Structure 1
Amino acid sequence: MRQDLSVEEALELVLREARGELSVEELPLREAYGRVLAEDLASLVDHPDQEDSAIDGYACREEDARAASPENPVRLRFIGEAPAGRAFRGEVGRGEAVAVYTGAPIPKGADAVVRVEDTRREGDFVLLFAPASPQDLRPKGGDLRRGEVYLRRGDLLTPGRLGLAAAMGYPRLRVFRRPRVGILTTGDEVVEPGEPLPFGGVYNANAYSLMGLVLEAGGEPVLLGKVPDRPEEVLKRLEGAGPLDLLLTSGGVSMGAYDVVRKVLEEAGEVIFWRVRQQPGGPLLFARLQGLPVLGLPGNPVSTMVTFFLYGRSFLFRLLQRTEPPYRPLKARALTPFKGARGKKAFRRGVLLLPEGTVRTTGDQGSFVLRSMALANALVVLPPDRDAREGEEVEVLPLTFVP
C-alpha cells in the first residue's frame, strides 16, 4: 500500500484501474440524450441536399439585379414561388424572379437572392430596391457531406450532438452502457432525511450529493444505504453490493478507532493507496475488493464531493472513453484572498465570474461546510504552501455539475 501521494500520483493510479470495455446498447434518439457514443458516426446524407436559400426573398439572376437601389429599383417579372421542401419546376430566365423562403431550393437559372424586405410586389412584377446577393445561397453539403464523420466514439450526446445525429439520418444510436456505481455511507451517527435526528447525528447528505455527481458524470448510481461502524457489517455490505463497475464509500477511511472501512479493505481486499497530499480530502483511499475498484471517500461532505470530482469523475470518463476531459483548468483573478495548505495542494471553493475572469471565495472553507458547495461553481487550486493574494492570478476548475 502506497501512502501520502501527490494528487497527480493518486489520479494516475485511479485511472489505471479504469480498464475493461463497457457493453454497448442501441437506443432510439429520444432515449439517447446524455449518453456516450460507442462508434463514430458518418453522415448518411448531404445537408442541404441541394443549393438552397438562407433567407426569405426572391431568387433571380445576379446580373439582372446588380444596379438595383432605392432611387432606381429594378423591375422583374414574378413567375412563381418555391417554399421549403418544394422545388420550382421551371427555370428563371432573364428579367424574371421566383419567391423563395428560408431552406427552399434555388430554382434553376437563378444564382442570387434579394431579401424580401428590399422588395415590393406590384401585381405580376416585383420591384427590387437592393442588389441580389449570391452570399445568401447555401451550397449543397455546406453543413454535412455524405460519408464524412462528424461525431466520434466517446462523444457525450449533448442537445446539439443529438440534433446533429438526427440531421445525419440516424434514428437509433449505439451507446456505452452506463457504469454502475455503488454508493455506501458508513457511520453510526448517519440517519436518513426524514428520520428523527439523534443527539450528535447527521443526515445522510453524502449519498445524495454522490448520486447527483455520478449521474452528471454519466454513471448509474446504486444507493446501498448506510452501514454502522462495525467491521463485520461493513464487510457484509461491501461483499453483497452486486455487479458494479465502481464502489464509493463515504466515511470510515481516516485514522480513528471507528474508521473501519480502511481496516476492512486492508484485511479483505487490496489497498492500492491511502492518503493524498491535498486539502480537503486528504484521507482518500483506493482499493480493490474481489476485483472491484473501491474509492473510499472521506466523510466530511465537502471532502466527499471534491474527491469524487477529482478522482471518481475521472475514473468514469476513462471507463466511458469520453473524448472530453473530466475538468478544464482556467485562469482567473482572485477578488479575495485564498489560503493554501502546508505541504498539500489545496482546493478552495469559489464563485467564478465569466467573462470577467474573476473568482471570489464562498466564505468558510471548512470541509464540513456543505453550504459552500451549493454556493460554489469552481474550485480554486493552490500549490502546496502557497496562499493567493487579492488580485493574483489563480488556477480554477469550473464545477461542471453547476448550471
Structure 2
Amino acid sequence: MKQNLTVEDALELVLQAARPLQDIEHLPLAASYGAVLGADLVSKVDHPSISDTAVDGYACLEADTRSASLGNPVRLEVIGQSPAGKPYVGRVRPGEAVQVFTGAPIPDGADAVIRVEDTLREGDFVWLMKPASRADIRPKGADLVQGQAYLHKGDLLTPGRVGLAAAMGYATLPVIRRPRVGILSTGDEVVEPGEPLPYGGVYNSNSYSVAGLVAEAGGEPVILPKISDDVESLRTQLRRAGQLDLLITTGGVSMGAYDIVRQLLEREGEILFWKVRIQPGGPLLFATWNGLPLMGLPGNPVSAMVTFLLFGRPLLFRLLGRTDPPYSRLRAIADTPFEANPTRRAYRRAVLRWVDDRYRVATTGNQSSAVLRSMAVGNALVVLEAGRSAQQGEAVEVIPFPGAW
C-alpha cells in the first residue's frame, strides 16, 4: 500500500485502475443529452442537401445585375417563387428572377441572390438597387458532407451535438452506459435528513452532495443505506450493493478505531494508496474489493466534495471514455489573501468572477473542511502549492467548479 502520495501520483493510480466501459445503449435523441457517444457518427446526408438561399430575396443571374445601383437600378421579370420546401421547377434565364425565401433551393440557371431589402417590387417585375451576390447561396454540402464523420466516440452530447446528430439523420444515438456508482456513508453519528437529530448527531449531507457530483460527471448514483461504525455491517452492505462500476464511501478512512472502511480493506481488499498530500482531503483511500474499485472519501463534507472533484470525476471520465478534460484551469487575480498549507498542496474555496475583462477571485471565508456552506457559496478552488501563500493582487491558479462557468 502506497501512502502520502502527491496529487499527480495518486491520480495516475486511479486512472490506471479505471477500465473504460464497453456497454453501448441506443437512446432516442431527446433522451441523449449529457450522455457520451459510443461510436463515431458519419453524416447520412449532405447539408444543405441542395444549394439553397441564406436570405429572403430573388434568385437570378449574377451577370444581369453587375451594373445595378441606386442611381441605375436593373429590372428583372419575376417568373415565380420558391418557398422553403417547395422548389421552383422551372429554369431562370437572362432577364428573369424567382422570389426565394430563406432555406429555399436555388432554381436551375440562377447563380446569385439579391436581398429583398435591396429591391423594389413592381407587379411582375423587381428593381435591383445593387448587384446580386453569390455569397448568399449556401452550396450543397457546405455544412455536412454525406459519409464524413462529424461526431466521435467519447464526445459529450451537448445540445449542439445532439442537434448536429439530428441534422445528420440520426433518430437514436449509440451511447456509453452510465457507470453505476454506489454511494455509502458511514458513522454512528450520521442521521438521514428529516429524522430527529440526536445529541451529537449530524445529518447525512455527504450522500446527497456526492450523488449530485456523480450525476453531473455522467454517472448513475445509487445511494445505499448508511451504516454504523461496524465492520460486519460494512461487509454486509457491500455484498448487498448489487452490480456497480464504482463504490464511493464517505468516512471511515482515517486512523481511528472506528475507521471501518480502511480496516476492512486492509484485511479483505487491495489498497492501492492511502493518504494524499492535499488539504482538504488528506485521508483519501483508493482500493479494490472483490474486483470492484472503491474510493474512500473523507467524512468531512468539504473534503468529500473536493476529493471527488480531483479524483472521482477523472475516474468517471475514464470509465466513460470522455475526450474532454474532467475540469479546467485558469488564472485569476486574487482580491483577498489565500493562506497556504506548509507541507501540502491546498485547495481553497473561492468565489470566481469576471470583472473588467479578467478573472478575479476572493475567498469564501472560513476554510475549515466542515464548513459545507463554502461549497454552496463558492464556485471555484484556488490551488496553492505547499508553503506558497497568495497575497491580494497576485495571479493564482483556479479550478472552476464544473457547471459553474
TM-score bracket, normalised by the shorter chain, equals over 0.9
1:371 maps to what in 2?
A: 373
CA deviation vs aligned residue, 1:289-344 (integer Å, no higher than 9, x gap)? 11111100001111111111111111110011111111121122222211111111
The CA deviation at 1:358 is 1.8
Contact 2:20 2:321 in 1 (8 A): no
Aligned residues: 403
Secondary structure of the corresponding residue to residue 227 of structure 1: coil
Which residue of 2 is the match for residue 2 of structure 1?
Answer: 2
Runs of 4+ residues over 6 Å off in structure 1: none
* Mapped partners of 2:55, 2:301: distance in 1: 54
Conserved? CA contact 1:15–1:318, under 8 Å:
yes
Sequence identity, in percent? 63
Cα shift at 1:20: 5.0
What is aligned with 2:123? 123
In 2, Cα distance between equivalents of 1:287 and 1:401: 29
* 1:16 and 2:16 correspond: yes
Q: Which residue of 2 aligns with 1:198?
A: 198
Q: In 2 relative to 1, CA 56–377 (structure 1 residues): closer, same or farther, beyond 3 Å?
A: same
What SS is found at the alignment partner of 1:226?
A: coil
Q: Which residue pairs with 2:207 in the alignment?
A: 207
Q: Deviations over 1:116-156 (max 9, x none)?
A: 12222111111222221111111111100011110001111
C-alpha RMSD over aligned residues: 1.3
8 Å CA contact 2:21–2:321 kept in 1: the answer is no
Aligned pairs for 1:1-400 within 5 A:
1-19=1-19, 21-354=21-354, 355-400=357-402
Q: Any idea what the Cα deviations from partners look like across 1:238-259, whole Å, max 9, x if unmatched? A: 2321111100001111122222
More displaced 10-residue stretch of structure 1: 41-50 or 62-71: 62-71
Partner of 2:197, secondary structure, is coil
| Equivalent residue letter for 2:140 | K
For residues 52-96 of structure 1, the C-alpha deviation after alignment (integer angstroms, 9 at most, x for no partner) is 111111111122222323333222111111111221111111121
Whether the 8 Å contact between 1:118 and 1:128 is mirrored in structure 2 is yes
| Structure 1 residue identity aligned to 2:69 | S
Query: Cα offset for 1:187?
Result: 0.9
Q: Deviations over 1:269-288 (max 9, x none)?
A: 11111100001111101111
CA offset at residue 169 of structure 1? 0.7
Q: Matched residue of 1:77: which SS?
A: strand
Separation in structure 2 between the aligned mates of residue 362 and residue 73 of structure 1, nearest angstrom: 66
Does the 8 A contact of 1:181 with 1:221 survive in 2?
yes
Letter in 2 for 1:68: A
Give unmatched runs, 5+ long, in structure 1.
none
Partner SS, residue 248 of structure 1: strand
For 2:401 and 2:148, the matched residues in 1 are separated by: 34
Measure, in 2, the Cα distance between the counterparts of 1:242 and 1:329. Answer: 37
Q: d(CA) in 2 for partners of 1:39 and 1:306? A: 32
Q: TM-score, normalised by structure 1?
A: 0.97
Q: Is the 8 A contact 1:273 1:287 kept in 2?
A: yes
> Matches of 2:160 and 2:45 in 1, distance apart?
18
3-state SS of 2:225 partner: strand
Q: How far apart, CA to CA, are the structure 1 residues paired with 2:153 and 2:298?
A: 34
Amino acid paired to 2:361:
V
* Secondary structure of the corresponding residue to residue 104 of structure 1: coil
Equivalent position amino acid for 2:404 in 1: V
Which whole-Å CA distance do the structure 2 matches of 1:75 and 1:295 have between them? 76
Quickly say closer, same or farther: Cα 1:200–1:71, change in 2 above 3 A.
farther
Give the distance between the partners of 1:114 and 1:198, measured in 2 at CA: 77
Q: Following the alignment from structure 1 to structure 2, what is the Cα–Cα distance between the partners of residues 103 and 190?
A: 61
Contact 1:22-1:179 at 8 Å conserved across structures: no
User: Does the Cα contact within 8 Å between 2:114 and 2:128 map onto a contact in 1?
Assistant: yes
Of the structure 1 ranges 123-132 and 61-70, higher mean CA displacement relative to structure 2 is found in 61-70
Preserved CA contact (<8 Å) 1:213 1:401: no
Aligned residue identity for 1:400: P
